[in-house]
């Protein structure tokens, strides 16, 4: 065979092979929507990203709380209208494995020491972006992103009506807990309450290997300001703490707490 023809055939075979390889998805260039993308370019939305204000109407202190939920992350940076406000990074073996949920809470200075308006000045109102590296079982998945909405609307704390503080609750009867509806913010403007959270817990030191105390926690409709607690829930001659949180539409909440004891 003529050498020129042979060289031409080799060139054609190589060209066909390159084209086939190019369109097979192995090529990392810009191939459009059908191309295989780099995992670092993949964006995975956070399942939840929350940033709220909590005010304790009884202790008169105020602080910030946040919550993250995802399929897995290694590092998260929170950025707001004024720039970066928080950076959280998992390290060590668990960090390498990946984290999913995280609840965090700032220091809550007493309002007498740090007025509420000074606390609010720390984080202005607006949207806050939670952005970080997604990871699952040590495998990088791309970038994970979520948006949290922060306002400065803080509800007034509910007024707890019954049981009265320090009351003795009959152990053999169902009993009613009740509170007044919340309609205003701390500064007297209208507020839209979307839910009340009721928490009742035994006043005890929890078991050393148990997270939290024995009790109940329930979210109730904003139209509900009283509920009956069955007698089976309480134990004789036992002290209980209880609180109600009023939750505003942006998630900000204010709580009031009290305590009672059951009869022997």
The pTM assigned to this predicted structure is 0.81
Confidence of residue 39 (pLDDT cuts 50, 70, 90): low
Tracing tokens 């009672």 back to the chain, one arrives at: 260
Percentage of residues in the chain having pLDDT higher than 70: 85
Least confident of 133-147, 166-180, 250-264: 133-147
- Picking from 154, 260, 167, the residue whose alpha carbon sits closest to that of residue 215 is 260
Least confident of 7-11, 80-84, 111-115, 202-206: 7-11
Least confident of 16-30, 39-53, 64-78: 16-30
**Cβ pair 100, 72 in contact under 8 A:** yes
Q: How many degrees, rounded to 5, is the angle at CA 103 between CA 204 and CA 217?
A: 45
> What is the C-alpha separation between 142 and 169, in angstroms, rounded?
55
Look at residue 35 and tell me whether its pLDDT is greater than 90.
no
Helix (H) or strand (E) holding 141: strand 139-150
Half-sphere exposure of 177 (CA within 13 A, CB side): 24
Percentage of residues in the chain having pLDDT higher than 90: 75
């Amino acid at each position: 065979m003529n050498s020129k023809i042979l060289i031409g055939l080799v060139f054609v075979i190589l060209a066909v092979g390159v084209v086939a390889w190019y369109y097979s998805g192995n090529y990392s260039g810009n191939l459009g929507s059908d191309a295989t993308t780099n995992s670092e370019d993949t964006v995975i939305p956070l399942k939840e990203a929350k940033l709220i204000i909590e005010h304790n109407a009884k202790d008169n202190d105020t602080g910030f709380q946040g919550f993250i939920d995802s399929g897995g992350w290694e590092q998260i940076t929170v950025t707001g209208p004024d720039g970066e406000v928080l950076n959280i990074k998992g390290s060590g073996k668990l960090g390498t494995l990946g984290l999913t949920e995280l609840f965090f809470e700032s220091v809550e200075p007493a309002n007498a020491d740090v007025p509420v308006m000074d606390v609010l000045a720390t984080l202005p109102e607006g949207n806050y972006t939670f952005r970080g590296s997604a990871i699952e079982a040590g495998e990088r998945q791309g970038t994970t992103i979520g948006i949290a909405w922060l306002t400065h609307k803080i509800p007034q704390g509910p007024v707890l009506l019954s049981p009265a503080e320090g009351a003795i609750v009959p152990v053999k009867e169902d009993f009613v807990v009740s509170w007044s509806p919340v309609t205003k913010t701390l500064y007297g403007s209208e507020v839209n309450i979307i839910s009340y959270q009721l928490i009742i817990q035994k006043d005890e030191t929890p078991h050393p290997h148990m997270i939290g105390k024995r009790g109940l926690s329930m979210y109730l409709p904003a139209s509900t300001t009283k509920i009956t607690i069955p007698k089976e829930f309480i134990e004789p001659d036992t002290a209980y703490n209880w609180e109600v949180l009023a939750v505003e539409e942006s998630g900000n909440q204010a709580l009031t707490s009290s305590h009672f004891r059951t009869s022997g």
